[in-house]
Amino acid sequence: MAEKPRPDPVIPDSVPAVIIPNKLGYESGIALSWAGNATFGIFPSQQVNAHCQDVKSQYANNPDYKDVVHHVRSDSVLFDPISRKLVNESNGYFIFAQKLLEKVDSTDFSLEILKLSRQYRSVLRACLEDFQSASSTSQGSKKAFYLQNIPTFYNMELIWHLCEILFLDIIPGDVVLSHLITWIRFHVPQVEKEANKFLLEEKAYSDFVKQYWIVVIDCLLQRRIDTVRSLLKINPDFESEPFKIVDTILRTMPIFELYGGLTISEFQVRHECWKREAKRILIDGKFSSHKYLTMIVKILIGDETVQDIIMKHCETWYQHMVASLIYTEPTVKIFDLAFYANQSITRYGGPNCIKQLDLILCAIMEVDAFKVIERLQDWTEKNWLPTHLTNLLYIGDKLNISSTQSSNFANSLHENLLLDYGTLLMSHKSLWQAGVDYLDYCRVEGRATLETLLSRVPFKTNAKALKIIYIARERDLEEVVYNVSKVQGMRCLSRGDIGGALTWAMKCQDPVLSSQLADIYLKKYIKDGKFESEDLLQNLGSGILLSDRLAFLGRYSEFCQMLKNGDQKEAGALLIYMLVNKVPPKFFWLTLLMDAVPLLEKNKNLFSSQDIYDLMSCLQELSDNYSNSNVPTVIDKLKDIRSCLARNLAEALIREGTKGSATNKLLQITAI
């Protein structure tokens, strides 16, 4: 009974679909197999079990179906041409970071690591800006791709910057507010841009009154005190008493500076006095007729009643947290941040409303490195960021290691991240060399992984094959050298490039392949009467030691060169040596004996009677092999060689003057 046609698959909208363009797979079903490097091989496969009858498939030998393997790989934003700049530049910083560990004269890398962190952040920012630029010039799906990933790279930089502050930066007394303000200002730059539009008179106060006050409050919540004062001065009512009083309050506001000369307690006393005075002025009703000035002063003194206003001006809970701390806890320390973060999160909907980014930022504010790394791995972009951030924390001994067990865990975590990231890069045709660098620093599994993946790097040109071999030899991965060289050698052979094939055979040190190629060389010489790639044969060097056959090829090439140079004596001696010692393969004996004929004819004194007799013995052995041959040319050649040898042997015996010996030799020849 014919099978019923398969219904079209129903795929939920929420599940991304991958269409495999294979008719046979659609009819029979498909299966998949792990193909390495984050790749699956998907191919047509009929589902069978123990109860199925063992019969020939209805799809077998059907020309309408093509049995094709499709490779499906999870894509990564890092493979985009713009992102590849990030990968390549950060690879250089990564290598430099590893070299810090090799310094035996120093153990404190704090300043170097902080500098590296800023360099990583710089290339991350450059990548983000390139994505923004590309999104404005691209169209269609490419534009959608860039727009989709801009928030990802923005958040990556946001996370990295906060980690840099709380884990890597050196903060005296752990008083962290000024660093957090810098963090917010850097990642919410539109506040300064909008303020400049008013200050540079691109926008007139009279035309944008409501927006003007929004910008004033926004600047205040980023502690841009000088900007707030400048904005107030362009207000038409600035000369009025309420404005002057607010300007004085802003001007006299104490700001804690890490190296300002005041201790924390001295600053707190001064700040409390300033706040008390501002509160008194507010209670006196100096601003009762002006709601915006009242709002400003309430924010300055940390009045709880303006929290809703602050929330309206802050898009995120962490902006709100920093804005509130500026005027309520200006000397907040790192270990208190988690508490204030929870307060702000509660105002923005609590734990039920937070996203993965918020969880990561909370973990950073808890200064829990392991939790940060764990949550980063669950995030959208889980390769570049956790790998490089963990590497810096590991080198700087910032993973809060307090026992041997946690130390081993840190080592394992660090290696696994490098291994995953390196493996990902090894799956890309342009980034695989960067992947090698990361696997190099995986002490436990890196070498074995690299040996496996390096052999799988696709290559079509000699240049790329040589690059892989160079990398493998640097690391003593001889199996990779062998595999790549053999593949390339077989490709050359399939194209008829015997010289290229022989070169690769010597690179992979394969005696079997080199012997086979030497035979091909010799048979081609028998047919054409000349060698391909003579320069290669003359420069085999130590390669002739790979196999006896290759050694003979080198010797015979040397023999031909001697004849070409007129060195008949050396050529004759080499020819006798090769035949007497049975160096050449049997199929090449006839060629060597034919080479002996012109030498015998040109120089009667070149061979001794013993040499000629040895040649005749080889001829007889060869004749036995051709006893059943019906090829006229071979039979004629054997007769010509025999006649030449007999004639020259007689002359040699007479010349040597050994009559008795001559008689014996002639009798032996007659027997032959």
Mean pLDDT of the chain: 85
Residue-wise pLDDT for 205-260, tens only, equals 878 889 999 999 999 999 999 999 999 999 999 999 999 999 999 999 999 987 77
Contacts 24+ apart (CB under 8 A), 111-115: 113/168, 113/392, 113/395, 113/396, 114/164, 114/168, 114/169, 114/170
The rounded distance, in Å, linking the Cα atoms of 364 and 416 is: 21
Task: Assess contact for 275 and 302: CB atoms under 8 A.
Answer: yes
pLDDT exceeds cutoff 70 at 26: no
Lowest mean pLDDT among 194-198, 266-270, 379-383, 477-481: 379-383
Spell out the residues 6+ positions from residue 92 whose beta carbon is closer than 8 angstroms to its own.
Answer: none
Residue-wise pLDDT for 78-108, tens only, equals 889 999 999 999 999 999 999 887 775 556 7
Distance, C-alpha 660 to centroid of its chain: 81
Residue-wise pLDDT for 251-261, tens only, equals 999 999 877 77
Residue-wise pLDDT for 602-616, tens only, equals 777 778 888 888 888
The rounded distance, in Å, linking the Cα atoms of 212 and 208 is: 6
- Distances in Å between the Cα of 157 and the Cα atoms of 128, 191, 304, 331, 392 are 9, 19, 32, 26, 15
Grouping H, G, I as helix, E, B as strand and the rest as coil, residue 430 is: coil
Task: Assess contact for 592 and 574: CB atoms under 8 A.
Answer: no
Q: Which residue has the higher pLDDT, 362 or 36?
A: 362
The rounded distance, in Å, linking the Cα atoms of 486 and 310 is: 69
Structural domain boundaries of the chain? Answer: 23-74, 79-173+378-424, 183-332, 459-563, 566-672
3-state DSSP helix/strand/coil percent for the chain, to nearest 5? 70, 5, 30
Closest CA to 488 of 478, 471, 473, 502: 502
3-state secondary structure 287-298: CCCCHHHHHHHH
The rounded distance, in Å, linking the Cα atoms of 51 and 99 is: 61
Q: State the burial class of residue 5 (Cβ atoms within 10 Å of its Cβ: 0-12, 13-18, 19+).
A: exposed
Closest CA to 158 of 128, 192, 132: 128
Q: Which residue has the higher pLDDT, 356 or 617?
A: 356
The number of CA neighbours under 13 Å toward the Cβ of 449 is 27
The rounded distance, in Å, linking the Cα atoms of 462 and 488 is: 8
Task: Assess contact for 266 and 273: CB atoms under 8 A.
Answer: no
Spell out the residues 6+ positions from residue 260 whose beta carbon is closer than 8 angstroms to its own.
Answer: 267
pLDDT band at 463 (very low <50, low <70, confident <90, very high): very high
pLDDT band at 286 (very low <50, low <70, confident <90, very high): confident
| Rounded mean pLDDT, 296-316 | 94
The rounded distance, in Å, linking the Cα atoms of 406 and 403 is: 5
pLDDT exceeds cutoff 90 at 438: yes
Grouping H, G, I as helix, E, B as strand and the rest as coil, residue 500 is: helix
pLDDT exceeds cutoff 50 at 659: no
Q: Percentage of the chain with pLDDT > 70?
A: 86
pLDDT exceeds cutoff 60 at 449: yes
- For residue 74, the 8-state DSSP code is -
CATH of domain 566-672: 1.25.40
What is the reported pLDDT for 155?
95
pLDDT exceeds cutoff 60 at 521: yes
Closest CA to 180 of 35, 372, 371, 320: 320
Residue-wise pLDDT for 353-412, tens only, equals 899 999 999 999 999 999 999 999 888 666 899 999 999 999 988 886 555 556 788 889
Q: What's the pTM?
A: 0.80
The rounded distance, in Å, linking the Cα atoms of 246 and 295 is: 11
3-state secondary structure 149-207: HHHHHHHHHHHHHHHHHHHHCCCHHHECHHHHHHHHHHHCCHHHHHHHHHHCCCCCCCC
State the helix-helix crossing angle for 404-426 and 384-395, rounded to 10 degrees.
140
Closest CA to 613 of 667, 670, 669: 669
Task: Assess contact for 369 and 360: CB atoms under 8 A.
Answer: no
Residues in a beta bridge with 39 = 36, 73
Q: Which residue has the higher pLDDT, 626 or 278?
A: 278
Task: Assess contact for 182 and 169: CB atoms under 8 A.
Answer: no
pLDDT band at 304 (very low <50, low <70, confident <90, very high): very high
What is the reported pLDDT for 670?
46
The number of CA neighbours under 13 Å toward the Cβ of 599 is 28
Per the structure block, which two tokens stand in for 84?
């590849």
What is the reported pLDDT for 404?
54
pLDDT band at 2 (very low <50, low <70, confident <90, very high): very low
Residue-wise pLDDT for 546-599, tens only, equals 778 888 877 888 888 888 888 888 888 888 888 888 888 888 888 888 888 888
Q: Percentage of the chain with pLDDT > 90?
A: 47
What is the reported pLDDT for 325?
97
Spell out the residues 6+ positions from residue 369 whose beta carbon is closer than 8 angstroms to its own.
Answer: 167, 393, 398, 399, 400
Q: Which residue has the higher pLDDT, 417 or 504?
A: 417
What is the reported pLDDT for 1?
42
Residue-wise pLDDT for 47-76, tens only, equals 777 777 777 776 666 666 666 777 777 678
Closest CA to 392 of 154, 85, 96: 96
Grouping H, G, I as helix, E, B as strand and the rest as coil, residue 279 is: helix
